Structures are given as C-alpha cells and as structure tokens.
Amino acid sequence: MTARWMTRFAAMGSVSLLEACTPGATQGSARGAAEEETTARAAESAQTPARAPNRILGTWRPVSVRYDPDGATIEPFGPRPGGLLTFSENGTFVEVLHNPDLPRFAAETRDKGTAEENAAAIAGALGIYGTYTVDDNGDFASEVVQGSTFPNWNGLARRRGQLTLTVEGDSMIEDLRDPNRPPVAIVWERVN
C-alpha cells in the first residue's frame, strides 16, 4: 500500500481497506477522492510546525575581533583580521581567524620557525571546527568544538550565554563569554 493510500485510508476512519483502495468508492466521484486527499495532506502539514530558515547558514568574513581587559582594547588578529566562518546545511562549521599582518618566517618552512616566530603565529591565528544547532526560530543554539588549534577547546560544548550569534541583515555579532578571559566581540559580514 502506498503512503498516499495509507494516508487516505487513515483519514477515512472506519471504511474498509477495499473501499479505501478503490478510487471514489466512498465519495462516489474522483473529485471527492481528490478533496479527501487534499484534506489529509493539510492535516499532516498542520501537525508539522514550520521551522524558520537558518539565519547563520553560509559563509562570513571577520570585520573586527576585540576584547577589552581592564578597559584597553586588544585586537588579537590585528586591525584588519583575516579568515572565514562557514556554517553548512548539515550542521557543521569551520572557523579560521588570523592576523594577515604577521611577518613571514625567516625560514621557508613551518617547522623551522624560531621561538618568537612560532609564538606570534600561535597568538595571531585560531582555527576551530565542529557541529552546531539552531533553534526553531533559526537562531544559533549551540556548538561542539571537535577540533581546535587551541587544544583546550577540543570537545568543548557551548550554548547561548557562553556564545551568542546575533544576525542583523548581512552582519553578525559573535559574543564569546569565557570564564577564563574577558568577553570577545567579533563582527562578521556575510559573504554568501
């Protein structure tokens, strides 16, 4: 029995299976069967609440990254931060932030950097990836960091209150609250 006929049979109540599978048997016409099927579909869709579109879906570029310990503004990725943040339809995300003004290493390979070069590279870059959820309104609800260039964040789960993403048009404000540091504010602009 197809889903269409099963839905029709359920909508007819106490009629027999033979009557349900015979087009027009209970209504006497094809038009009656079509009206009945339309009613059944409407009842099904009324039971499934519509979800708002995912407001954070897509790719974003950083405009600014700031935190203010003791009243002094710090821009850990410089005045023009580089990077991208992408939220996919399947509930995964990737975020990369870096300071594009960092000087090149004297050696041409990563593994030959000096202690100072390596410290600047670590302080001036961050990459994380994981999964995320949105609520019924399409707003950010939570994330789980599956991997990070800052190993202390591996496996970290954050919910609203710890991390808030507020979308207004093509701008998004990220407010990160970590008990171990001052709040971080990141302004993002939508790329697509």
Contact criterion met (CB below 8 Å) for 172 and 138: no
Q: Which residue has the tokens 């990220």?
A: 174
68 & 126 share domain: yes
- Average pLDDT for 128-143: 97
* Residue 181 placed within a domain: yes
66 & 92 share domain: yes
* Residue 53 placed within a domain: no
Q: How far is CA 120 from CA 63, 125, 126, 180, 186, in A?
A: 21, 9, 12, 21, 20
Query: Looking at residue 21, what is its pLDDT?
Result: 40
65 & 43 share domain: no
Provide the pLDDT confidence category of residue 5 given band limits of 50, 70 and 90. Answer: very low
* Residue 52 placed within a domain: no
158 & 64 share domain: yes
Burial class (CB in 10 A: 0-12, 13-18, 19+), 97: buried
Q: How many domains does the chain have?
A: 2
State the residue range of the domain holding 32: 3-47
25 & 72 share domain: no
* Residue 28 placed within a domain: yes
Is 9 a residue whose pLDDT tops 80? no
114 & 146 share domain: yes
9 & 101 share domain: no
183 contact partners, CB below 8 Å, separation of at least 6: 67, 68, 175, 176, 177
Instruction: Please tell me the pTM assigned to this model.
Output: 0.72
Is 45 a residue whose pLDDT tops 60? no
CATH number of the domain residue 85 falls in: 2.40.128.280
84 & 135 share domain: yes
Is 188 a residue whose pLDDT tops 90? yes
Q: How far apart are CA 60 and CA 167, in angstroms?
A: 11
